[in-house]
């Protein structure tokens, strides 16, 4: 593999968003506002900052509004300037000028691994990033840029991690770090990964958060991955199955991660983004 660029990002967005009911009866969760921009807008902004050109959004059948959000609309951008929203209008303009959007419909929500697999035909031989719009990362230098820089030096599969509380392990993929890797570097070799371990069974306190850089042979691994935790086809299990053959790294983020999978987390992210924008 001599491809030295990450040109594609998958943004899985088809989740049911049950924790955001009744809002998600009518609106996809990824269109919820984190302060002044929808979650998915922030995810695309991060991809753009990392010089990714192709955005693949995995949607469900009733999520046409996500396509509508990114449809080119210079008139709305002009109106936004008139309302003092010029910075966000410029972002929308750069999305339509610099990015290619592709939508993949996931007919059944069978898990994150399944969502990624549904993009296989668009990614023949291409390494790619995965950005979970639920997770907002705030850091002066986007963490995804750092992950991709690491990937350029040593290709392999990368997952972003942060320190988690032991009682929260059942909500995360948790990584096991190679013994000699407990050092100062933010990049650590992974020996194993487990999705949603029970409390006490987690191999470390490093939980996977929603940024990945993956090699294209992950698709073959997902295809033979059986439903695992919460009876879903788990991306963590597929990455774990590749560890013998593909160098696999955790990248410990430097900034702060907000879990916007709950209204409370979204509120905290909104407050952080609002104070940042002053
Ligand atoms: C997904 C991943 C999990 C990861 C988490 C981060 O889980 O499967 O490994 O730790 O995102 O947000 P989910 O939140 O969809 O249950």
pLDDT in tens, 147-184: 999 999 999 999 999 999 999 999 999 999 987 665 67
C-alpha 39 – ligand 1 centre gap (Å)? 16
Tens digit of each residue's pLDDT (9 = 90 or more) over 233-254: 999 999 999 999 999 999 999 9
Give the model's pLDDT for residue 179. 76
Ligand 1 atom 1 nearest Cα? 172
DSSP state of 184: S
Q: Which atom of ligand 1 is nearest to the CA of 207?
A: 10
The rounded distance, in Å, linking the Cα atoms of 152 and 156 is 9
Nearest by Cα to 255 from 121, 184, 160, 126 = 160
37-52 average pLDDT score: 98
Cβ count near 10 (within 10 Å): 27
The rounded distance, in Å, linking the Cα atoms of 66 and 63 is 6
Tens digit of each residue's pLDDT (9 = 90 or more) over 201-235: 999 999 999 999 999 999 999 999 999 999 999 99
Confidence of residue 2 (pLDDT cuts 50, 70, 90): low
C-alpha 173 – ligand 1 centre gap (Å)? 6
C-alpha 134 – ligand 1 centre gap (Å)? 9
Confidence of residue 277 (pLDDT cuts 50, 70, 90): confident
173 lines ligand 1 (CB under 6 A): yes
127 lines ligand 1 (CB under 6 A): no
Give the model's pLDDT for residue 185. 84
Q: Which atom of ligand 1 is nearest to the CA of 173?
A: 9
Give the model's pLDDT for residue 180. 67
CB 88 within 8 A of CB 80: yes
Count CA atoms closer than 13 A to 223's CA, side-chain side: 7
Count CA atoms closer than 13 A to 33's CA, side-chain side: 6
The rounded distance, in Å, linking the Cα atoms of 148 and 131 is 13
C-alpha 149 – ligand 1 centre gap (Å)? 23
C-alpha 255 – ligand 1 centre gap (Å)? 18
This model's pTM is above 0.85? yes
207 lines ligand 1 (CB under 6 A): yes
C-alpha 102 – ligand 1 centre gap (Å)? 23
């Amino acid at each position: 593999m001599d491809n030295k660029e990450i040109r594609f990002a998958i943004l899985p967005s088809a989740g049911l968003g049950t924790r955001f009911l009744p809002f998600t009866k009518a609106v996809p969760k990824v269109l919820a506002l984190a302060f002044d921009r929808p979650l998915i807008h922030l995810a695309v902004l991060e991809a753009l900052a990392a010089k990714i050109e192709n955005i693949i959004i995995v949607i469900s059948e009733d999520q046409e509004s996500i396509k509508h959000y990114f449809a080119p609309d210079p008139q709305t951008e002009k109106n936004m300037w008139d309302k003092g929203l010029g910075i966000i209008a410029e972002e929308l303009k750069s999305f339509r000028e610099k990015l290619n959007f592709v939508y993949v419909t996931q007919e059944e929500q069978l898990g994150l691994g399944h969502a990624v697999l549904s993009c296989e035909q668009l990614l023949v031989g291409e390494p790619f990033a995965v950005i979970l719009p639920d997770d907002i990362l705030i850091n002066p230098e986007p963490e995804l840029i750092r992950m991709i820089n690491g990937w350029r030096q040593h290709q392999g599969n990368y997952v972003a991690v942060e320190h988690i509380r032991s009682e929260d392990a059942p909500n995360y993929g948790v990584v096991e770090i190679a013994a000699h890797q407990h050092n100062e570097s933010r990049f650590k070799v992974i020996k194993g990964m487990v999705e949603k371990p029970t409390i006490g069974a987690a191999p470390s306190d490093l939980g996977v958060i929603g940024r990945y850089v993956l090699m294209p042979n992950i698709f073959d691994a997902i295809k033979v991955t059986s439903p695992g935790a919460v009876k879903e086809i788990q991306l963590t299990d597929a990455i774990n199955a590749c560890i013998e053959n593909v160098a696999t790294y955790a990248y410990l983020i430097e900034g702060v991660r907000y879990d916007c999978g709950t209204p409370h987390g979204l509120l905290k992210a909104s407050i952080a983004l609002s104070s940042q924008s002053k």
